Copies of this chain bind each other. A is one copy, B any other.
Amino acid sequence: MKNDSYFMELAIKEAEKSLNEGGIPIGAVLVKDGEVISKGHNRLIQNSSVILHAEMDAIEKAGRLNYGDYRKCTLYTTLSPCPMCSGAVILYNIPRVVIGENTTLMGAENLLECNDVEVVVLDDIRCRDLFLKFTCNCSEIWDEELAKVGNTTEVK
């Protein structure tokens, strides 16, 4: 059955792709009317980027949708979205975001909620375990990323 757990599994597969590429294991999928229209994963390390978070990658890969299309979308992401990705969700009026987990890092969920975005946190052990595996083996990559953003991805 294509429920939130099913689509999160696809986002996790994207996160695993990033891990296998030597990147940060965060994945995202954009779903419209119950069908996946794009998949993305964090490419900061792979592309030497600062904007290609998983959510941004998925939103970009979906192409230039119109307002009505975005309004039918749910964004699935394995980790709580940062202010930039949350801002993209608000800009394009994506009405629903499903988050794998927010214990590794808390993003700008309050900003999403204040802007009428439905936020669902699955607290998915698969997402936490994957990230834990990464931080145990590649802690320097994650530490560098956290230091870059001043150790916070929340908004006031």
Contacts and interface: CB of A to CB of B under 8 A. Distances in A.
Interface of A: 44, 48-51, 56, 59-60, 62-67, 70, 82-88, 90-93, 108, 111, 114-116, 147-150, 153, 155-156
Given A50-B59, A70-B148, 7 more contacts: A50-B92, A51-B60, A64-B148, A82-B91, A85-B87, A111-B155, A116-B156
Nearest to A153: B91
Contacts of A85: 87
Nearest to A71: B150
A151 to B, nearest CB: 9
Contact of A67 (B44, B65, B67, B149): B149
Contacts of A59: 50-51
Contact of A155 (B56, B70, B115): B115
A55 to B, nearest CB: 10
Give the residue among A59, A62, A87, A156 with the most B Cβ atoms within 10 A: A87
Contacts of A155: 87, 90, 111, 114-115
A50 B44 contact: no
A108 B83 CA distance: 12
A67 B150 CA distance: 6
Nearest to A47: B60
B87 A108 contact: yes
